[in-house]
């Protein structure tokens, strides 16, 4: 996700390559990214990166946060803005380890094409100007939406995981059309792709809501209305099951991360 963010900021013109310092413990990955975008600086370690940065994005797996914070806690300053992009790492836990201003931003793969939401949560030390700076930066690549950190899991499901969920549903939709009616799968997939693009524009630019778009298309007694009835009956509690699973997984992840932070204290 760190690479996606860097390339999105560059594509949007929010940052220049000379503004960016990167560190990856797999040095080959850092070199590959810098080779694609000449001018990016490769830091030899996390400490050097922090010393040369004002805004620091930590883009590692949850259980790796303790090691990263151990690396930088002696060099990070109160004026630094540290951004976590990982749902189960709580802002308060990072604030207890370093003196910096801390925020959490959960991006989405949709940000790579400069659209979609970015979920924003602020720590206790950010000023009004800090918040504006953060929103201004992420507005280049997304629609930043402030949320309560308590809702980060379900919000991430809707904004960051949903592209995969939606693609699976649409894949099955296209495959079933081919299986039942004989349309070539490639044609079915192309039709579905164009439909998704059009629906997105109708919802974001065309003045429709999810409900009003259904009503516009589904005339009484028509095939769309009958199709909606089938979906309504057959979907049942599938989405409730999905959210129960993600909430349960989030609670387990929180416990693992809390244990990691305790062990590094």
Three-state SS string over 138-179 comes to HHCCCEEEECCHHHHHHHHHHHHHHHHHHHHHHHHHHHHHHH
> Which backbone phi and psi does 117 adopt, to 5 degrees?
-90, 155
Q: What is the CA radius of gyration of the chain?
A: 22
**So what's the pLDDT on residue 265?**
57
The burial class, CB within 10 Å (0-12 / 13-18 / 19+), for 38 is exposed
Mean pLDDT by 10 residues, the chain (265 residues): 95 97 94 97 97 97 93 96 96 96 98 97 98 98 98 98 98 98 98 98 97 95 96 95 97 90 68
State how far the Cα of 50 lies from the Cα of 35, in Å rounded to an integer: 22
Q: Please state which of the four CATH numbers 3.30.565.10, 3.30.1050.10, 3.40.50.300, 3.40.50.720 is assigned to the domain occupying 2-148.
A: 3.40.50.720
Binding-site residues from annotation: 46
Q: Are 13 and 140 in contact (CB under 8 A)?
A: yes
State pLDDT tens for residues 122-179.
999 999 999 999 999 999 999 999 999 999 999 999 999 999 999 999 999 999 999 9
**So what's the pLDDT on residue 150?**
97
Per DSSP, what are the bridge partners of residue 105? Answer: 120
Binding-site residues from annotation for NADPH: 46
Run of H or E including 21: strand 21-22
Would you tell me how many other CB atoms lie within 10 Å of the CB of residue 36? Answer: 13
**So what's the pLDDT on residue 264?**
59
Q: Which tokens in the block code for residue 160?
A: 């960051």
State how far the Cα of 118 lies from the Cα of 139, in Å rounded to an integer: 9
């Amino acid at each position: 996700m760190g690479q996606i963010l860097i390339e999105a900021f560059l594509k949007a013109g929010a940052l220049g390559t000379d503004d960016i310092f990167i560190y990856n413990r797999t040095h080959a990955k850092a070199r590959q990214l810098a080779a694609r975008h000449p001018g990016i600086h490769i830091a030899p370690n996390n400490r050097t990166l922090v010393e040369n940065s004002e805004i620091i994005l930590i883009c590692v797996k949850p259980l790796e946060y303790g090691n990263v914070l151990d690396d930088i806690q002696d060099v990070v300053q109160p004026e630094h803005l540290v951004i976590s992009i990982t749902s189960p790492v709580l802002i308060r836990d990072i604030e207890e380890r370093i003196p910096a201003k801390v925020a959490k931003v959960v991006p989405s793969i949709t940000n790579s094409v400069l659209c979609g939401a970015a979920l924003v949560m602020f720590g206790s030390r950010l000023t009004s100007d800090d918040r504006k700076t953060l929103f201004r930066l992420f507005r280049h690549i997304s629609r930043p939406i402030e949320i309560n950190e308590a809702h980060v899991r379900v919000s991430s499901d809707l904004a960051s995981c949903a592209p995969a969920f939606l693609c699976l549903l649409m894949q099955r939709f296209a495959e079933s059309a081919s299986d039942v009616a004989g349309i070539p799968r490639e044609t079915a997939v192309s039709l579905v792709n164009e439909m998704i693009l059009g629906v997105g524009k109708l919802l974001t630019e065309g003045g429709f809501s999810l409900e009003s778009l259904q009503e516009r298309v589904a005339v009484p007694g028509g095939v769309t209305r009958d199709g909606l009835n089938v979906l309504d009956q057959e979907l049942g509690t599938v989405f409730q099951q999905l959210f129960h699973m993600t909430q349960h997984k989030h609670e387990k992840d929180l416990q693992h991360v809390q244990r990691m932070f305790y062990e590094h204290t």
